[in-house]
Chain A
């Protein structure tokens, strides 16, 4: 048993080394795998997505008498640009750590999480915490105090640009009395910098796509070149060690790319590594593994490189559209939300963003990890089945 395990590990490492050497010896491979994704993340901030300083979105229309108050509320916010950003699990945003430094609070809404209560992200304690605002304050007054506190702290230049009317909006709203809008998302200005949001999203998108494009062609390439037979002819190398060797290669390369991207996100966007990094790595690794297994399964089931190219393009399209990366899933149909659960990017995206922005992902971490582990198990079983199928055709 031990000797078989040792032989399998030896075979795995030889296949891994073989793939790695080929990558390192290929100039274009290095460019495609490491350089271009890194440059992409570096320039994505040049996109014109800079959000205005006030980030408030109001949605939902109350009926009856509340409508009048609601309309006034919206009118008062009329000169404030709104940005649609409502990932359900976006717990708090503080990429530049300004909230904590300035001892500011940030109010956010977790509508759709079961309770419709407000929650507060606060830097008052030594570590961020989430608590129900209903327990700390009631209704909008508290929200306005929070926002007013923050608005007053703006630097004079920014305040001047915003205009007196804008600065006073909180006070006016406060005079409206108790009122709870259907949905209000209030973000710290720097925290809601869409460039940083996009950079964080792009980083994790790359990390959840790269394993697929590395793994998907791996078996087909060997099969088309008849080098799979040569691999299997080598002492101690069987189908499973080829599978694990190739999987190990993909995971190692993607982890290396992750480190490069983390350097970019720090140096270009000023997003610092925060506490909980190991926890985030603990979430990203199963996401990479699940994607790798999916790619390997595809590689063993498809027949040609052209099919793999098509599958990779479709996979990219799917993870940009169906995971909450491009469009929010909250308002989507049950079918879409269900479909989103098959992609590793879906659970890891909001938690990674929350971590990037300095938030405590709270219970979202546990559920994300659970889903990713389930994906690993399911894709692992599928991959082993696909391996058996592929081997039977040799």
Chain B
């Protein structure tokens, strides 16, 4: 658990949640709680339901059964979300994408120079290039940076290091770590727990059920 311990404030509680795609049951979660300050690594094999869990926690995907309770006001705060693939408009430049994302969150488009969190990501010279013309690695970096550009208080990253070379993964890791102190929640999905920076809880998704790994801190 994080430094604030079990008594920390509950921010998200899932109770009896079931999520299906058609007739296929993807997730069956009797109970799951996310507390203030949690840094959670959600791990599991391909298709295990990690991304779906992330979307349910973020209020992005509806559920078929059960209940989700978010702490008062949490959903009005900025959720920085990086989907597993894509996430930005290909025909727009990185800068235009950032502006759009900030407007969507009710923020002024603002100065579009890379934020301090983005230092070292190597994105600055690419800001005026269309997103679709970036390499795969830089596309992932741009999506992450756009999620950071909305000043998130909770951050959900769905396999942020997939398709990213070692140097960029390191830079992204650093960027996330620099931001960690400002976050109420950080949830990152990955195939392996050791690829998740700064996680203090590890939750494995197996056959649609969540298994908390005891002492799984990174």
Contact = CB atoms under 8 A, between A and B. Distances in A.
B62 A233 contact: no
A contact patch SS: helix
Given A17-B103, A22-B100, A227 B86 contact: yes
Given A235-B78, A394-B60, A25 B88 contact: no
A392 interface: yes
A224 B104 contact: no
Contact of A391 (B62, B84, B106): B62
B105 A227 contact: no
Q: Which of A233, A235, A394 has the most CB of B within 10 A?
A: A233
Interface in B13-57: 21, 55
A230 B144 CA distance: 12
Nearest to B79: A233
Nearest to A29: B91
A235 B86 contact: no
A391 B104 CA distance: 20
A235 B92 contact: no
Interface in B54-98: 55, 58-62, 64, 75-79, 81, 83-92, 96
Contacts of A239: 62
Contacts of A229: 55, 60, 81, 83, 87
Contact of B79 (A225, A235, A394): A235
A239 B61 CA distance: 9
A227 B88 contact: yes
Contact of B92 (A25, A232, A391, A394): A25
B86 A226 contact: yes
A14 B62 contact: no
Given A226-B87, A229-B83, A235-B105, A21 B100 contact: yes
Chain B residues touching A, range: 20 to 34
A174 interface: no
B104 A231 contact: yes
Contacts of A393: 21
A52 interface: no
Interface in B144-182: 156
Contact of B100 (A10, A18, A226, A235): A18
Interface in B119-160: 156
Interface residues of A, number: 27
A236 interface: yes
A26 B91 contact: yes
Interface string A169-205: 0000000000000000000000000000000000000
A237 interface: yes
A233 B86 contact: no
A235 B106 contact: yes
A250 to B, nearest CB: 18
A236 B105 CA distance: 9
Given A230-B81, A235-B77, A394-B60, A225 B106 contact: no
B209 interface: no
Contact of A230 (B61, B101, B103, B106): B101
Contacts of A392: 21, 62, 64
Nearest to A391: B62
Nearest to B93: A25
A56 to B, nearest CB: 54
Given A226-B83, A394-B61, 8 more contacts: A21-B99, A22-B100, A226-B87, A227-B86, A233-B156, A234-B79, A235-B75, A391-B62
Interface of B: 21, 55, 58-62, 64, 75-79, 81, 83-92, 96, 99-101, 103-106, 156
